């Protein structure tokens, strides 16, 4: 009795590669996995543990050939492919994107004929870190300031950061393509001059949905920083009822999917390569609230939740 | 009648060079300016407008030879040299450091026989941006999250960021020397794991002194980011009385030393090369408060205030 076939759509992108890495680590057999991507990547191969998988042309992908589909494509394509595959009876997990419909949290499971979406990494990480604290002590106000990595803009974002950095170190000018301005050795607020920031409204809405508090009492400033992978956020929380840092620490340590009490180190050197949300520097702030530092390897978190949701279906071991 | 001589101590460092640049821009004659620094730099030259100044050995500097002294040395040396020069009757301006004694704000003036200290750039910039708002509407709580440049650790910090970045782009490992960890393509919180952060307490105290509110009702997270020059901060402010974003914008636009209403761009691309504190993205946050983005060229701000304070004494024109 062989396990059903599993297809990864968008397998050659940054996120797709991490998904394949996670599937291989979990003991899924290479022979059961199909890698698919757009015309540019089709014909190449992608690593799968010690093996290599050929990348098929996405346009030629037949949902009837796979029981389980992981969709790691850009938002516009992702929605169409997810719907098509679910319509063909596949169990579909979409990684990132609008978290309406079935929202997949850590520990969740995929089901045939339906699309389950893993929320974007940043609202998911913040919700996982904040929920145990909000459940215990309520949430009167939340101040979140983000430090977002180039990986949030996909492989092109990562490549642009590398290219701009190399040019500037050689004293040459840079021309932004993917980012709205120079990202190398710079910090770019994700919003325009006078405030109206769709990116901030979208994150606030997503976080509110995940916490079950809409609208959340949230003051938010998002920025992009010259980091390749891994988002971080400085979080200041004003609870409705008193919450001592020690108690917060204990709640975080007991919550699933969190690595609490870590050092103050940032995502690229601490959270990277793990699927956990790292919460550190839990302390009283100077206004009667709590401060925390949240760091997450955005791609690994999405891969962890998505692969965890399909392993029971494809018979992975670990 | 010739203008009195002016000495810059620490002239070969990042800050000293910016001070010389500002003096030259202000029309001070090169013949009136002496450049002094430690043994490593002594014998070299430093740019002064289109000219070059020889760098004298600091150990051989005689305070009797200059009427005005600008001290741009590291903190420990700075205090001793500032006291010695003031004792010899010089008008002394110390750039950055502990802001006890005479605190020099923009528009202030130096006086013979006394040391006036320009506060560190970050508390000074925050105080300049916040004071008009706090004066108008009171200050119930303040959440500040910083993005601090390598220039905050002097020329060695800037060089370490460049070195680490080049190594990592070439796939080679890095060994932190000046920073407590990898700074290239990373974010480093300025505080240890469990909170106790002297750097945060020091900034809170300095800001409180400058605002005349001690202790300030301030929740603070400081981080260092891979930016060469220019600090930024995401500021969320809860006023005691209602304060509309438009009114805040008008107050900021009328305040001296501020460039208000700028774009959301970050220090390295906007504030750099100006002595003004840039305040942008003034908007209502989601908790009844105001959000702002503050960016400053740390070295230029210090140089601007210090040079402004001595120009009347040395007869600079602009």
Chain B touched by A245 (CB under 8 Å): yes
- Alpha-carbon gap: A212 to the closest alpha carbon of chain B (Å): 16
The whole-angstrom separation of Cα A30 and Cα A210 is 34
**Domain range summary for chain A, segments of one domain joined by +:** 6-119, 123-298
Chain B (166-225) residues lying within 8 Å, Cβ to Cβ, of chain A: 166, 169, 181-182, 185-189, 191-196, 204, 215-221, 223, 225
Cβ proximity of A282 and A260 under 8 Å:
yes
Cβ proximity of A63 and A91 under 8 Å:
no
Q: Is A7 helix (H, G, I), strand (E, B) or coil?
A: strand
Cβ proximity of B34 and B56 under 8 Å:
yes
Please compute the mean of the pLDDT values over residues B216-234 and round it to a whole number.
94
Chain B (97-136) residues lying within 8 Å, Cβ to Cβ, of chain A: none
List CB contacts of B143: < 8 A, sequence separation 6 or more.
A143, A219, A236, A285, A287, B218, B219, B220, B235, B236, B237
pLDDT of residue B318: 47
Tokens at residue A315, please?
């018979």
pLDDT of residue A257: 86
Tokens at residue B133, please?
């708002």
What topology is assigned to A123-298 in CATH?
Dihydrodipicolinate Reductase; domain 2 (3.30.360)
Tens digit of each residue's pLDDT (9 = 90 or more) over B81-140: 999 999 999 999 999 887 667 899 999 999 999 999 999 999 999 999 999 999 999 999
Cβ atoms within 10 Å, residue A214 = 11
Q: Give, for all 318 residues of chain A, the pLDDT tens digit.
A: 456 799 999 999 989 999 999 999 999 999 999 999 999 999 999 999 999 999 999 999 999 999 999 999 988 899 999 999 999 999 999 998 876 678 999 999 999 999 999 999 999 999 999 999 999 999 999 999 999 999 888 889 999 999 999 999 999 999 999 998 899 999 998 876 555 578 899 999 999 999 999 889 999 999 999 999 999 999 999 999 999 999 999 999 999 888 887 655 566 666 677 788 999 889 998 898 999 999 999 999 999 999 999 999 987 554
Residue of chain A with shortest Cα separation from B193: A263
Give B154's pLDDT tier (boundaries 50, 70, 90): confident
Straight-line distance from the first to the last Cα atom of chain B, in angstroms, rounded to the nearest whole number: 19
pLDDT of residue B271: 66
Which of A162, A182, A262 lies nearest to residue B269, judging by beta carbons? A182
Strands B188-189 and A102-103: unpaired
Residues of A in contact with B195 (CB under 8 A): 245, 281-284, 291
Tens digit of each residue's pLDDT (9 = 90 or more) over B173-201: 999 999 988 999 999 988 765 555 788 99
pLDDT of residue A265: 57
What topology is assigned to B6-119 in CATH?
Rossmann fold (3.40.50)
Chain B touched by A226 (CB under 8 Å): yes
pLDDT of residue A263: 58
pLDDT of residue A260: 81
- Alpha-carbon gap: A41 to the closest alpha carbon of chain B (Å): 24
pLDDT of residue B314: 87
Q: Do domains A6-119 and A123-298 have the same CATH topology?
A: no
Residues of B in contact with A232 (CB under 8 A): 187
The whole-angstrom separation of Cα B291 and Cα B133 is 12
- Prediction ipTM score: 0.91
pLDDT of residue B100: 65
Residue A221's closest CA among A129, A148, A138? A148
pLDDT of residue A95: 96
The whole-angstrom separation of Cα A221 and Cα B310 is 39
Residue appearing with tokens 């000074």: B124
Tens digit of each residue's pLDDT (9 = 90 or more) over B275-300: 889 998 899 998 989 999 999 999 99
Average pLDDT across chain B, whole number: 91
What would the 3-class secondary structure string for chain B be? CCCCCEEEECCCCHHHHHHHHHHHHCCCCHHHEEEEECCCCCCCEEEECCEEEEEEEHHHCCHHHCCEEEECCCHHHHHHHHHHHHHCCCEEEEECCCCCCEECCCCCCCCCCCEEEECCHHHHHHHHHHHHHHHHHCCCEEEEEEEECHHHHHHHHHHHHHHHHHHHHCCCCCCCCCCCCCCCCCCEECCCCCCCCHHHHHHHHHHHHHHCCCCCCEEEECEECCCCCCEEEEEEEECCCCCCHHHHHHHHHHCCCEEEEECCCCCCCCCCCCCCEEEEEEEECCCCCEEEEEEECHHHHHHHHHHHHHHHHHCCCC
Contact B236 A143 (CB under 8 A): yes
Q: Which of A263, A264, A265, A296 to mutate to test the interface with B (most CBs of B within 10 A)?
A: A264
Cβ atoms within 10 Å, residue A1 = 3
pLDDT of residue A291: 94
Which of B162, B225, B287 lies nearest to residue A187, judging by beta carbons? B225
Residue B219's closest CA among A237, A125, A131? A237
Give B3's pLDDT tier (boundaries 50, 70, 90): low
The whole-angstrom separation of Cα B277 and Cα B132 is 13
Length of chain B: 318
């Amino acid at each position: 009795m062989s396990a059903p076939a599993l297809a990864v759509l968008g397998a050659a992108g940054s996120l797709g590669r991490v998904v394949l890495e996670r599937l291989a680590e979990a003991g899924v057999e290479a022979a059961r996995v199909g890698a698919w991507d757009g015309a540019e990547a089709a014909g190449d191969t992608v690593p799968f543990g010690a093996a290599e998988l050929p990348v098929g042309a996405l346009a030629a992908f037949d949902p009837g050939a796979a029981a389980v589909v992981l969709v790691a494509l850009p938002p516009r394509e992702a929605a169409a492919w997810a719907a098509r595959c679910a319509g063909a009876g596949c169990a579909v997990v979409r990684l990132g994107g609008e978290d309406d419909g079935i929202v997949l949290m850590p520990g969740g499971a995929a089901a045939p004929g339906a699309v389950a979406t893993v929320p974007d990494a940043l609202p998911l990480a913040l919700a996982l870190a904040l929920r145990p604290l909000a459940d215990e002590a309520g949430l009167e106000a939340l101040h979140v300031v983000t430090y977002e990595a180039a990986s949030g803009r996909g492989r092109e974002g990562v490549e642009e950061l590398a290219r701009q950095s190399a040019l500037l170190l050689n004293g040459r000018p840079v021309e932004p393509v993917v980012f709205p301005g120079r990202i190398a050795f710079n910090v770019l607020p994700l919003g325009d001059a006078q405030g109206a920031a769709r990116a901030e409204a979208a994150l606030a809405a997503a976080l509110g949905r995940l916490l079950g508090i809409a609208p959340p009492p949230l003051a938010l400033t998002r920025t992009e920083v010259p980091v390749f992978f891994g988002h971080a956020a400085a979080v200041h929380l004003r609870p409705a009822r008193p919450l001592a840092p020690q108690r917060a620490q204990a709640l975080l340590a007991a919550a699933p999917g969190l690595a609490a009490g870590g050092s103050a180190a940032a995502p690229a050197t601490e959270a990277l390569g793990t699927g956990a949300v790292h919460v550190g520097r839990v302390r009283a702030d100077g206004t009667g609230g709590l401060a925390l530092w949240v760091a997450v390897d955005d791609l690994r978190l999405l891969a962890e939740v998505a692969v965890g949701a399909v392993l029971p279906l494809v018979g992975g071991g670990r």
